[in-house]
Amino acid sequence: LAMLGIHSLATPPLMLNFLKKKFLNQSKVSYLGCGIQLSFGDIFGSVECFLLATMAYDRFMAIYNPLLYSTKMSTQVCVQLVVGSYIGGLLNASFAMVSFFSFLFCGSNRVEHFFCDFAPLAELSCSDISISVVLVSFSAGSVTMLTVFIIVISYSYILITILKMRSTEGRQKAFSTCTSHLTAVTLFYGTITFIYVMPKSSFSTNQNKVVSVFYMVVIPMLNPLIYSLRNNEIKDALRRHLGKKTLS
């Protein structure tokens, strides 16, 4: 749902601005609209981090402690983890939201991006942004490091448990349980690392824009496919389709 929110937030404005630029030679976003886009983008992005960490913990419990899984990961616990993820996302995004609405803008207000992100908006501000940048960076970095730490620890225990399994079938089943999640984690954290962690001087603005499109538009479209490939019926349908293509 978080990635769907990111996709829904970024893709329609992107297409609308593209059409306006092509046919009307203009592409504008209001101050309030920009703030809303920034706020929800940060909220959904942060929630996705927490949910990926929660899913890693869920897989850890399923493989490391399968007999206690139904107790440890009850419906109530799952609801609490999801609600906690959204609360954490809202708290993390609040720093960027408060910072944006305290910014003063003057002169050229052209955002060098296809959506309202914090970094290009901070560059446009005429006010002192040093404290805001530190707070936002610290908050976002803390969320990223915390969730990555949970994912790494969870998969470390999962790997140890899998290596201890004597059954080859059991190992394959455990690996297949984790494959889709690991793919989603790699794509998500790989792109946000490129955008927000790598030194700005190493890559051009256009390169960051391309990666941002991949993060905001392409990954949310790939996620349903990644997770649905675990479904045996979808796998069989895909094999039949590829078989027909090969024969034809």
Instruction: Indicate the SS3 state at residue 105.
Output: strand
**Cα separation values, 248 from 239, 241, 244, 245, Å:** 14, 11, 6, 5
- State residue 172's pLDDT score: 78
143 within 8 A of 43, measured Cβ to Cβ: no
Mind listing the pLDDT tens digit of every residue in the chain (248 residues)? 544 445 455 556 666 665 555 545 556 777 787 888 888 888 888 888 898 899 899 889 888 888 888 888 888 998 999 899 999 989 998 988 888 888 888 766 777 666 777 877 888 888 888 888 888 888 888 888 899 999 999 999 988 888 888 777 777 777 777 887 888 888 888 877 766 655 554 445 566 666 666 666 666 666 666 666 555 555 566 566 666 555 45
Residue 116, classified by CB atoms within 10 Å of its CB into exposed (0-12), middle (13-18) or buried (19+), is: buried
DSSP state of 201: G
CA 114/CA 100 separation, integer angstroms: 17
Give the closest residue to 189 by CA, choosing from 79, 90, 33, 50: 50
**Cα separation values, 157 from 53, 144, 148, Å:** 14, 20, 14
Q: Please give the residue range of the domain that contains residue 207.
A: 2-247
Element (H, E) at 206: helix 205-213
**Cα separation values, 217 from 23, 188, 226, Å:** 23, 12, 15
Q: How many domains does the chain have?
A: 1
- Chain length of the chain: 248
- State residue 147's pLDDT score: 92
pLDDT (tens digit, 9 = 90+) per residue, 70-94?
888 888 998 999 899 999 989 998 9
Q: Which amino acid is at 147?
A: T
CATH code for the domain of 197 = 1.20.1070.10
